[in-house]
């Protein structure tokens, strides 16, 4: 089923040329960060991930250099959070053009540094180059106990589905920003933080986990395909949606679930948990001052659906996930296609 997604086809095309490392725990797609066995003498796995900012900068979605730096770091650390890893630090590669002067680069570096301070970790090193345009990539490294490691695989019918926090803020930010309405919500409402602290707790209880950086529907679709289960979202949007996302949906006449379907998400972690471990998780989270958000359940079947009363409405998540490639760089066309899917589904 993974090959039905255009992005996954590209990954398979590239990865098919590489020999599988014998010391890597996970297969392709099975974890947000690659998990490397450090040997029998170690009780830890090395977690490693790489993420770049390309479309977000080229489209103008991020233009403030401080936010660009912040997002580069947080995107990488979010992958560590989803496997429950403790960050060791970040490697960064920055290629800049003459258009980025010293003041710009200082703000960019300040954003990266601020993200690291927030998560109590560091920049370990990296590389700088000059080129025709700004290009950034990062590689985050962390450690996770072998006894507590979580991946995207492990869900089963009967599990409950949780988020580390309300969803939808990332897609609302993209909608407002790309449609020129960002000031309607203020200038700095979007500055997500990777859920590293929560990931350390989740790893002790969860069956599987994945971050929502590409949007919640995309996350649930991946988990559905890997676990071959039905992921059911309850239509309790007051609980699931970030308040600002809900406000924008109401003002624009956008069905609430569409705010979860756009490709630009946030850095929450979506995870499933067995019912017999749920109370222990909630008690531990309360002790840490954190409230996980219940969004649904795992059932028999192989689809992502929305539960409206007694009715399950299946979503064509293959179409939703492939929309970004089909719509190209036209955000209005992309939003229009999502709304068309909503109408056809009766949502």
Quick one: CA torsion of 178, 181, 187, 190, rounded to 10 degrees? Answer: -50
Please tell me the predicted confidence (pLDDT) of residue 5. Answer: 77
Q: Across the chain, how many H-helices and E-strands are there?
A: 12, 12
- Supply 330's token pair: 């036209």
Please tell me the predicted confidence (pLDDT) of residue 326. Answer: 64
DSSP 3-state of 205? coil
Please tell me the predicted confidence (pLDDT) of residue 189. Answer: 80
Round to whole Å and give the CA distance between 235 and 258: 12
Please tell me the predicted confidence (pLDDT) of residue 70. Answer: 97
Please tell me the predicted confidence (pLDDT) of residue 19. Answer: 92
What CATH number belongs to 160-345?
3.90.650.10
- Supply 297's token pair: 């359940």
Bridge partners of residue 125, in order along the sequence: 91
Arch. (CATH architecture) of 33-145:
2-Layer Sandwich (3.30)
Domain with CATH 3.90.650.10 in the chain: 160-345
Domain with CATH 3.30.1330.10 in the chain: 33-145
- Supply 17's token pair: 């040329």
DSSP 3-state of 109? helix
- What does pTM read for this prediction? 0.93
Low-confidence ranges of the chain (pLDDT < 70): 1-3, 180-188, 325-331
């Amino acid at each position: 089923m993974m090959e039905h997604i255009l992005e996954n086809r590209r990954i398979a095309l590239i990865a098919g040329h590489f020999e599988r490392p014998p010391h890597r725990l996970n297969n392709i797609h099975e974890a947000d960060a690659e998990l490397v066995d450090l040997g029998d003498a170690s009780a830890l796995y090395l977690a490693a991930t790489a993420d770049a900012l390309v479309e977000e900068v080229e489209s103008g979605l991020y233009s403030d250099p401080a936010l660009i730096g912040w997002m580069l770091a947080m995107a990488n650390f979010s992958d560590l959070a989803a496997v429950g890893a403790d960050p060791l630090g970040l490697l960064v590669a920055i290629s800049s053009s003459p258009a980025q002067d010293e003041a710009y680069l200082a703000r960019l570096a300040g954003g990266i540094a601020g993200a690291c301070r927030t998560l109590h970790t560091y920049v370990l090193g990296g590389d700088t180059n000059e080129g025709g345009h700004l290009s950034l990539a990062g590689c985050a490294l962390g450690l996770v106990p072998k006894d507590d490691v979580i991946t995207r695989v492990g869900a089963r019918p009967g599990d409950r589905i949780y988020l580390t926090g309300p969803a939808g803020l990332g897609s609302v930010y993209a909608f407002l920003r790309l449609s020129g309405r960002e000031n309607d919500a203020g200038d700095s409402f979007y500055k997500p933080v990777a859920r590293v602290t929560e990931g350390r707790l989740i790893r002790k209880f969860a069956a599987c986990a994945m971050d929502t950086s590409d949007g919640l529907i995309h996350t649930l679709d991946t988990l559905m395909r890997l676990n071959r289960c039905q992921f059911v979202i309850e239509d309790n949007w007051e609980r699931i949606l970030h308040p600002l996302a809900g406000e924008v949906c109401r003002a624009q006449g956008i069905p609430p679930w569409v705010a979860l379907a756009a490709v630009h998400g946030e850095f929450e972690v979506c995870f499933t948990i067995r019912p017999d471990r749920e109370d222990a998780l909630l008690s531990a989270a309360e002790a840490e001052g954190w409230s996980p958000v219940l969004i649904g359940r795992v059932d028999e079947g192989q689809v992502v659906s929305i539960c409206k009363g007694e009715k399950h409405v299946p979503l064509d998540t293959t179409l939703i996930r492939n929309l970004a490639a089909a719509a190209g760089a036209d955000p209005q066309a992309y939003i229009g296609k999502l709304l068309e899917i909503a109408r056809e589904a009766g949502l």
